[in-house]
């Protein structure tokens, strides 16, 4: 039976072999990602529930485990309403533009040293370029909805994302200075060893800046002025219903997981075990990667349960006057340490 | 037709279509979005030339930042489309002459005599571990370091000038001082008053 499959596979022309293999890889990433998004929403409601001394959803299925499925079904059944005088094509295009970049960036994430769909040279830049495209979905949604609230939300979001992207980019400059490569897989391999070889220690301020900017880029609280329920109803997606709304929702959560995965890759040693000794090395590398991602995701939820929303001017001040100067100073410091001090060889 | 050629023609067709739409479509927001599409297709063509750093930088800088700000401004303009299309016939002769001249000049300069295949043969493919980014960095920071630093200085002057032109301080505007806000203690804001309980009569 297996030989039959092998001969069938080898009988295929090479271009279709490549296509099928890539397609298989894409499905193997996207299906678990969608499940993770569904259960991240469940985890969010449960965790925030317990932080607020409530129980959270517990009715659908055993202990509420089927809640995300029920939510998805409900959203699928709802009608998609297009407001009058809205720009129809752009209105429908906006959720697609929002989720597209959030999924494409997963192509270059190294799950383990061999589990990576596209091991390209410039993968760090690729991720940065793709995440910077996500803002179009939000901006277009706000404009095409023909609604003042949505428009205000998208204006806020555009200004915020442009501001925090600079800090994010500078934080990554620090990483690639130390790593000497822009290939994400190589960056993780440079951090091999134990927990003290991870880049979080020499680049601790950059780690903080990157993660804070990541929270701001994904429009999560405390930076969620783009949707600010108490001021502009739901911001850019106020006119969206049903599946169109759900796609925005999916994109936001996929972006959260993406930012966590990138932070784990660049600062927390990706799939590396914290210690290179027996009980830690028994665990498969993929587990370490997912564990790090989960811890970072927990921080996202924790922030939401803890911090009140920033005011708009506070967001701008934090981005331009605090985070960007911190990255500039630390990049300079790293450069000086690398080339003018005796312990610079640790980084080179 | 190889797969690479197919990709080239696809991206080139999308690029030409988007570029045409930028100048013909009425709605300025849609024009800006078509410009985004044009940049994106151009980046695709650059990837085919193994210039992945330039391609990704094009997407990162122009699509991810410049065009977002562009869109930001264009969306807030309340453009009257009827007024815009007024006087089209008036300017058509002059515009037409300029366009024809530009096409002629471009065919003279960019024609196959100067940019033909015999002048620029297709570059040899590089090995899989060839890094365009590293190569570009080497060139920029060794051979072309002075022009590079000069360009940086010019940009810095431009930033300073732009900020100096737009920075206006009004005397009566109230600003918050975050450091003072953080230092506030309870005693500064709340006064607790002890009162004897009153009896309802």
- Phi and psi (nearest 5°) for B190? -120, 135
Residue A347 — pLDDT band, cuts 50, 70, 90? Answer: low
**Residue A261: closest CA among A204, A188, A348:** A188
CB pairs under 8 A between A and B: 69
Q: Which residue of B has its CA nearest to A148?
A: B76
Of A121-125, A132-136, A173-177, B147-151, which one has max mean pLDDT? B147-151
Provide the pLDDT for residue B154. Answer: 96
Assess contact for A159 and A197: CB atoms under 8 A: no
Residue of A15, A91, A125, A177 to mutate when probing chain B, most B C-beta within 10 A: A125
B69:A122 CB<8 A: no
pLDDT digits (tens, 9 = 90+) for A275-284: 777 777 787 8
- Tell whether the model's pLDDT for residue A109 goes beyond 80: yes
Distance of CA B147 to the CA centre of its chain: 22
| Averaged pLDDT, B35-49 | 89
Of residues A348 and A47, which shows the higher confidence score?
A: A47
Distance separating alpha carbons of residues B103 and B97, to the nearest angstrom: 10
Q: Virtual CA dihedral for A207, A209, A210, A212, nearest 10 degrees? A: 120
| Averaged pLDDT, B109-128 | 73
pLDDT digits (tens, 9 = 90+) for A189-205: 888 877 777 888 888 88
Burial class (CB in 10 A: 0-12, 13-18, 19+), A49: middle
Assess contact for A107 and A117: CB atoms under 8 A: yes
- Tell whether the model's pLDDT for residue B128 goes beyond 70: no
Cβ-Cβ contacts under 8 Å, B59 against chain A: 129, 132-133
- Tell whether the model's pLDDT for residue B84 goes beyond 70: no
Side-chain-side CA neighbours of residue B45 (13 Å): 15
Shortest distance, CA B20 to any CA of chain A (angstroms): 19
Burial pattern A295-318, b for ≥16 Cβ within 10 A else e, equals ebbeebbebbeeeebbeeebbebb
B68 touches A: beta carbon within 8 Å: yes
Provide ipTM, 2 decimals: 0.81
Assess contact for A226 and A153: CB atoms under 8 A: yes
When the pLDDT of each residue in chain A is averaged and rounded to a whole number, the result is 85
Q: Taking a contact as any Cβ pair under 8 Å apart, which residues of chain B between 149 and 188 contact chain A? A: 176, 178
- Give the list of residues 6+ apart from residue B13 with CB closer than 8 angstroms, or none: none
Assess contact for B98 and B104: CB atoms under 8 A: no
Distance of CA A312 to the CA centre of its chain: 23
Distance separating alpha carbons of residues B7 and A82, to the nearest angstrom: 35
pLDDT digits (tens, 9 = 90+) for A57-76: 888 888 888 888 888 888 88
B42 touches A: beta carbon within 8 Å: no
């Amino acid at each position: 039976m297996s030989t039959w499959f092998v001969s069938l596979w080898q009988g295929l022309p090479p271009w279709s072999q490549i296509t099928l293999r890539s397609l298989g890889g894409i499905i193997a990433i996207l299906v678990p990602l969608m499940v993770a998004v569904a259960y991240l929403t469940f985890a969010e409601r449960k965790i925030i529930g317990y932080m607020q001394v409530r129980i959270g959803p517990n009715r659908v299925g055993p202990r509420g485990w089927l809640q995300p499925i029920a939510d998805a079904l409900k959203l699928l059944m709802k009608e998609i309403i297009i407001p009058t005088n809205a720009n129809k094509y752009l209105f429908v295009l906006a959720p697609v533009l929002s989720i597209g970049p959030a999924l494409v960036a997963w192509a270059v994430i190294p799950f383990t040293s061999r589990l990576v769909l596209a091991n390209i040279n410039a993968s760090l830049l690729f991720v940065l370029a793709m995440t910077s495209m996500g803002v179009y979905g939000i901006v277009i949604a706000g404009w095409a909805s023909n609604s003042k609230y949505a428009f205000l939300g998208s204006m806020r979001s555009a200004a915020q994302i442009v501001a925090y992207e600079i800090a994010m980019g500078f934080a990554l400059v620090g990483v690639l200075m130390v790593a000497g490569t822009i290939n994400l897989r190589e960056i993780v391999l440079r951090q091999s060893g134990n927990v003290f070889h991870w880049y979080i220690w020499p680049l601790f301020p950059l780690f903080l800046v990157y993660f804070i900017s990541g929270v701001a880029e994904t429009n999560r609280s405390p930076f969620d002025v783009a949707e600010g329920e108490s001021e502009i109803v739901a911001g850019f997606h106020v006119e969206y219903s049903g599946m169109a709304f759900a796609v925005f929702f999916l994109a936001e959560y996929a972006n959260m997981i993406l930012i966590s995965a990138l932070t784990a890759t660049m600062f927390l040693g990706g799939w590396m075990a914290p210690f290179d000794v027996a009980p830690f090395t028994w665990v498969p590398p993929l587990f370490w990667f997912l564990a790090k991602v989960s811890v970072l995701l927990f921080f996202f939820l924790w922030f939401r349960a803890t911090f009140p929303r920033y005011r708009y001017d506070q967001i701008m001040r934090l981005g331009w006057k605090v985070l960007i100067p911190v990255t500039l100073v630390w990049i300079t410091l790293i450069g000086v340490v690398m080339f003018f001090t005796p312990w610079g060889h640790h980084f080179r | 037709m190889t797969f690479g050629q197919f990709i080239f023609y696809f991206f080139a067709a999308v690029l030409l279509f988007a570029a045409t739409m930028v100048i013909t479509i009425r709605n300025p927001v849609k024009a800006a979005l078509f410009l985004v599409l044009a940049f994106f297709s151009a980046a695709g063509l650059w990837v085919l030339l193994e210039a992945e750093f330039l391609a990704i930088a094009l997407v990162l800088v122009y699509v991810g930042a410049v065009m977002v700000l562009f869109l930001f401004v264009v969306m807030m303009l309340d453009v009257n489309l009827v007024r815009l299309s007024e006087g089209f016939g008036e300017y058509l002769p002059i515009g037409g002459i300029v366009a024809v001249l530009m096409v002629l000049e471009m065919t003279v300069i960019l024609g196959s005599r100067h940019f033909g295949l015999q002048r620029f043969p297709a570059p040899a493919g590089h090995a899989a571990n060839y890094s365009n980014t590293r190569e570009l960095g080497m060139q920029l920071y060794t051979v072309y370091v002075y022009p590079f630093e000069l360009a940086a200085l010019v940009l810095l002057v431009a930033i300073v000038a732009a900020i100096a032109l737009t920075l206006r301080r009004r005397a009566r505007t109230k600003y918050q001082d975050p450091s003072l806000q953080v230092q506030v203690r309870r005693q500064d804001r709340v006064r607790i008053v002890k009162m004897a309980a009153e009896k309802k009569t």
